[in-house]
Amino acid sequence: MIEARDFFAEAARAGFDFYTGVPCSFLTPLINGALSTPGLAYVGAASEGEAVAIAAGAWLAGRQTVVMCQNSGLGNAVNPLTSLNEPFRIPTLLITTWRGEPGIPDEPQHALMGRITQDLLTVIGVPHAPFPASRDSLAPAFAEATERMRGTGLPFAFVMRKGDVAEEELRAADRPLPAPGRRADFPAGAGAERPTRVAVLERFLQLVPPDGAVIATTGKCGRELFTLADRPQHLYQVGSMGGASGMALGVALNTRAPVFVLDGDGAALMKLGTFATIGAYGPRNLVHILLDNGVHDSTGGQPTVSASVDFAAVALACGYAQAASCATLDGFEAAFREATGRPGPTLIHLRIAPGSMAKLGRPTVRPPEVAQRFKAFLAGVAGAAGRDAPAAA
């Protein structure tokens, strides 16, 4: 058994400085320690998949990350681990608990996952080792994990058993509630047609500042953005649907650059909990642009349920500093200029027409190269500012 401070000290020596995750009773000492340690960055996520996406964004912004979750939550994490971390070669240290360990009594819902935890990690390509539960094992365990991640660019997992870390009291202060946000509406005039996504992206490219980091959600949004203009400040998400806003949060908490995420209605609905995480941590430099065409455009136009959702109201209820609803290009531009003139986080919800450009390309830059140049872009912005990136709230 070790104490939380032993783990964090060795982790710091190995360069790990950003934590995110979802609690488990086995993880209580580590999460309590992370929350109680001054200067240690920890973001509590709404889901395990969201935590993986947040960590990916933090890594892109120069942090070495740790994701903590219960093994039952591996199901939520499988998608981003396999369709975000793997194609982009984004490493993270994953700590998963071993609820339902064979031979140890536990609740019935943990029995199956307890039998297959290590097998599941192996199947999805995440090498793993037992959690280092003694002080003597900490340094060798971190050496193995960092060496494997350095060699592959992929995650590595520690599997934690009950009692591996001694009990730790929670000494964190309550997070203050955000102040009520500000709403602006820019309705369309009578008979106005909804703009196409490509028209919105063309206007966006005219407005986005040179130091703005842009994360485009998976599907046709990223493909259209690439077709219009390929820039080092662009990250075209592939797979990991719903994870773009979590990635943007991880970036925004760790850079002073303005961060823009181009989201879709289907993706936003899939990870609606990320709205609450963004509102709670309140990155002032994040603009969340939701292009809502009411359909799953990449898979044939099947309808989403977004027609009945007031996303601006959802964002304000979740703690965003400001939110706007608009339905025209001019309304979008007005909302964008307001968003970049005030501290965020800000949501811009724009209802657009279904469909995509006729000659739609795909990114020809491989995902690992996209990630590395985006990371270099953020490092260059931080260097130009002459300041270190801020820690997460």
**pLDDT reported for residue 384:** 62
As a whole-number percent, the residues of the chain with pLDDT over 70 amount to 97
* Percent of the residues in the chain that have a pLDDT greater than 90, as a whole number: 85
- Asked if the 4-160 domain carries CATH number 3.40.30.10, the reply is no
Tens of pLDDT, residues 334-355: 999 999 999 999 999 999 999 8
Residue 196 near residue 275 (C-beta atoms within 8 A): no
30 neighbors 4 (Cβ within 8 angstroms): yes
Q: Whole-angstrom Cα distance, residue 354 to residue 194?
A: 9
Average pLDDT over residues 78-96: 97
The full set of domain ranges for the chain reads 4-160, 182-383
| pLDDT for position 383 | 65
Tokens of 373: 């140049």
Q: State mean pLDDT over 149-157.
A: 97
Is it true that domain 182-383 has CATH number 3.40.50.970? yes
Domains 4-160 and 182-383 share a fold: yes
pLDDT of residue 393: 44
pLDDT bucket at 387, cuts 50 / 70 / 90? very low
Average pLDDT on 78-95 reads 97
pLDDT tens-digit profile of 99-118?
999 999 999 999 999 999 99
User: Does residue 9 register a pLDDT over 80?
Assistant: yes
On whether the CB atoms of residues 72 and 109 are closer than 8 A, the answer is: yes
pLDDT of residue 365 exceeding 60, the answer is yes
Residue 162 CA to residue 27 CA, distance in Å, equals 8
Q: Higher pLDDT residue, 173 or 7?
A: 7
Asked if 340 and 209 touch (Cβ cutoff 8 Å), the reply is: yes
Minimal CA–CA distance to 161: which of 127, 133, 138, 136?
133
Is residue 266 packed enough to be buried (19+ CB in 10 Å), middle (13-18) or exposed (0-12)?
A: buried
pLDDT band at residue 386 using 50, 70 and 90 as cut-offs:
very low
The pLDDT tens digits of the residues spanning 223-271 come to 999 999 999 999 999 989 999 999 999 999 999 999 999 999 999 999 9
What phi and psi, each to the nearest 5 degrees, are found at residue 360? Answer: -95, 115
Report the C-alpha gap between 291 and 262 in whole angstroms. Answer: 7
- Sheet containing strand 18-21, edge to edge, reads 41-44, 18-21, 65-69, 93-97, 156-160, 128-130
* Helices and strands (H and E) in the chain: how many: 15, 15
Q: Which is it for strands 322-326 and 65-69: parallel, antiparallel or unpaired?
A: unpaired
Report whether pLDDT(388) > 60. no
The DSSP secondary-structure symbol of 253 reads: T
Mean pLDDT of 206-233: 95
Backbone phi, psi, residue 92, to 5°: -155, 150
